C-alpha cells in the first residue's frame, strides 16, 4: 500500500515508540522512510533503527528551531523531490509539571509543552505542505484521551493534546484544498518511554484492561495498523478525525 511512498517521521525515541511501530508497518508495505532526532542521545537510539530498515535519511531536528525544521525539509526536497506522509509523534512536558498539580504549572513549562507538543504540528505541516502539492498527502499525529477528559497526572500534557486535536481540525480544513489529509490517532495507554513519565500510569493501564469493551490494552501494532489505514489510499476520504484506538475504553462512562 505504500509502494514508492515517501514517509518522514518525527518522534521515534527507541524501539518501543509508537512512531517506530508505525514506521515498521509502513516499511513492510513498501514505504521509503526518513527519520529525525533531537540531540546526541536520541541519535544513538534512532540511527541504528533507521539503518535496520534501510531508511534514506536520518536528520537532526529540534522542533523548537525554525532553522532546523527548514533544513530537514530542504533535505527531503533534495533527496526525494516531494513527500507523501508526515508522521508527527513529538511531545514533551517537564517532569515537575507532570508530577504536581496542574494549577501549579509554571509559565515556562506551559509554553514549552505547548510549543513542542502542539505548535510543532502546525510548523511541520507548514514545511511539509509545499512538498505534497503535486498529488496531496497525509499528515498523522498522536493524541490521548486526556485531551478530552481529565486523567489525573496528565496535567499540562492533556491541555497540549487538546490544542493538538484542535490543530488537526483547522489544518485539515485549510490543507484540504491541496488534497492533504490531517488526522490523529488517540491511542490507549501503551508502555513507552513517554508513558513512564505519567504519574499513576500502572493504575491507568490496569483500569483500561478491566473496563474497556475488549477487556485488554492495545498493542503498538494495533496503533500501527490504524496508521497504515489512515495514511494509505484506504483512508482517502478521512480527514480532520481523531481516531480512538483504545480497545473501546473511551465509550465507557463508568
Q: For residues 231-250, give the mean pLDDT.
A: 97
Instruction: Answer whether 156's CB lies under 8 Å from 109's CB.
Output: yes
The CA–CA distances, whole Å, from 105 to 90, 108, 145, 250 equal 20, 8, 20, 26
Cα separation, 76 vs 74, in Å, equals: 5
Is residue 144 part of the annotated active site? The answer reads yes
- Residues 73-91: pLDDT tens digits? 999 999 999 999 999 999 9
Q: Is 154 a catalytic residue?
A: yes
Residue 24, pLDDT score: 98
**b/e burial code for range 163-180 (CB count within 10 A of at least 16 → b):** bbbebbbebbeebeeeeb
- pLDDT, mean over the chain: 94
Q: Is the pLDDT of residue 218 over 90?
A: yes
- Where are the chain's structural domains? 6-248
Point out the catalytic residue in the list 154, 170, 173, 244: 154
Residue 199 — very low, low, confident or very high, per pLDDT cuts 50/70/90?
Answer: low
H helices of the chain, in order, are 18-28, 40-52, 66-80, 95-99, 107-114, 120-128, 155-175, 201-211, 220-231
Q: Of these residues, 144, 170, 173, 244, which one is catalytic?
A: 144
What number of other Cβ atoms are within 10 A of residue 54's Cβ? 9
Predicted pLDDT at 198? 63
Q: pLDDT per residue over 103-142, tens digit each?
A: 999 999 999 999 999 999 999 999 999 999 878 999 999 9
pLDDT over threshold 90, residue 170? yes
Question: What mean pLDDT do residues 23-27 have?
Answer: 98
Quickly state the pLDDT bin for 193 (edges 50, 70, 90).
low
- Chain centroid to CA 25: how far? 15
> Nearest to residue 42, comparing CAs of 21, 24, 19, 22?
19
- Provide the CB-side half-sphere exposure for 69 (13 A, CA): 17
CA–chain centroid gap for 52, Å, is: 21
Is the domain covering 6-248 a CATH 3.40.50.720 domain? yes
| Average pLDDT estimate for 186-191 | 88
H-type helices in 176-234, by residue range? 201-211, 220-231
pLDDT score recorded for residue 45: 96
Q: Is the pLDDT confidence value at 196 over 60?
A: no
Q: 3-state class of 92 per DSSP?
A: coil
Q: Is residue 197 over pLDDT 70?
A: no
In contact, 185 and 144? CB cutoff 8 Å: no
Order of strands across the sheet with 57-60? 57-60, 32-37, 6-10, 85-88, 137-143, 180-187, 242-245
Amino acid at each position: 500500500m505504500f509502494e514508492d511512498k515517501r514517509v518522514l517521521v518525527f518522534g521515534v525515541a527507541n524501539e518501543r515508540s509508537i512512531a517506530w511501530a508505525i514506521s515498521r508497518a509502513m516499511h513492510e508495505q513498501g514505504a521509503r522512510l526518513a527519520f529525525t532526532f533531537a540531540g546526541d542521545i536520541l541519535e544513538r537510539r534512532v540511527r541504528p533503527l533507521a539503518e535496520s530498515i534501510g531508511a534514506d535519511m536520518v536528520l537532526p531536528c529540534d522542533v523548537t528551531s525554525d532553522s532546523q525544521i527548514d533544513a530537514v525539509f530542504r533535505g527531503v526536497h533534495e533527496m526525494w523531490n516531494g513527500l507523501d506522509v508526515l508522521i508527527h509523534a513529538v511531545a514533551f512536558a517537564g517532569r515537575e509539571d507532570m508530577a504536581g498539580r496542574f494549577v501549579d504549572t509554571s509559565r515556562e513549562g506551559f509554553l514549552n509543552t505547548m510549543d513542542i507538543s502542539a505548535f510543532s504540528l502546525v510548523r511541520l505541516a507548514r514545511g511539509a505542505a509545499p512538498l505534497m502539492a503535486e498529488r496531496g498527502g497525509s499528515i498523522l499525529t498522536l493524541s490521548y484521551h486526556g485531551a478530552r477528559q481529565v486523567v489525573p497526572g496528565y496535567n499540562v500534557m492533556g491541555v497540549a493534546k487538546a490544542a493538538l486535536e484542535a490543530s488537526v481540525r483547522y489544518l485539515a480544513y485549510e490543507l484540504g484544498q491541496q488534497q492533504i489529509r490531517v488526522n490523529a490517532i488517540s491511542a490507549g495507554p501503551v508502555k513507552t518511554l513517554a508513558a513512564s513519565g505519567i504519574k499513576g500510569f500502572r493504575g491507568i493501564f490496569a483500569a483500561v484492561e478491566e473496563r474497556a469493551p475488549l477487556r485488554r490494552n492495545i498493542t503498538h501494532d494495533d496503533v500501527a495498523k490504524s496508521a497504515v489505514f489512515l495514511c494509505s489510499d484506504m483512508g482517502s476520504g478521512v480527514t480532520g478525525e481523531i481516531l480512538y484506538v483504545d480497545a473501546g475504553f473511551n465509550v465507557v462512562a463508568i
